[in-house]
Amino acid sequence: MATPSKTPPGADPKQLERTGTVREIGSQAVWSLSSCKPGFGVDQLRDDNLETYWQSDGSQPHLVNIQFRRRTTVKMLCIYADYKSDESYTPSKISVRVGNNFHNLQEIRLCPQGIVTGCLSRSKQMEQEYFLRSR
């Protein structure tokens, strides 16, 4: 999760962070999961290691909840998926929802995924000026 100034569509988020174009703000949030298998939780989801990952352990829907303590503008969301590595656990769609609390979330983007490997980025330019806010 990053806050960019001017982000070219399709750019590598790690490269953008190294050049100072974006700032990673995921560490400012509280992350929770609908379920996870032991050793496949939030730490593995966020550790920047492509060999580790989150693995759910329950019925659908599988959710990753990201809550900021104060109102925060998020302009880019990057999710790495690798269908070839594990097709049974790669999501078939990703829904991005925003709001002030869990009771008033609104879907702003549904990303049907299909077969994909790589980083799925949603940035300001790609999302036509959507701003994700939490209060």
Nearest to 74 by CA among 13, 119, 12: 13
Residue range 66-94: average pLDDT?
79
Among the listed ranges 52-61, 98-107, 124-133, which one has the minimum average pLDDT value?
124-133
Sequence ranges of the domains in the chain = 2-134
pLDDT score, position 92: 74
* pLDDT given at position 129: 32
Mean pLDDT of all residues in 108-121: 65
> What share of the chain in percent tops pLDDT 90?
19
Rounded to an integer, the average pLDDT of 68-97 is 78
Q: Tell me which architecture the domain covering 2-134 has in CATH.
A: Sandwich (2.60)
Q: What is the pTM of this model?
A: 0.71
pLDDT value at 4 more than 50: no
Please, which contacts does 10-19 make with residues 24 or more away whose CB atoms are closer than 8 Å?
10/121, 11/121, 12/119, 13/76, 13/78, 13/119, 13/121
Omega within 30 of 0 (cis) for the link into 61: yes
Model confidence band, residue 5 (pLDDT cutoffs 50, 70, 90):
very low
Contact 35, 57 (CB under 8 A): yes
pLDDT, one tens digit per residue, over 88-97 is 677 777 888 8
Check if the beta carbon of residue 68 is closer than 8 Å to that of residue 29.
Answer: yes
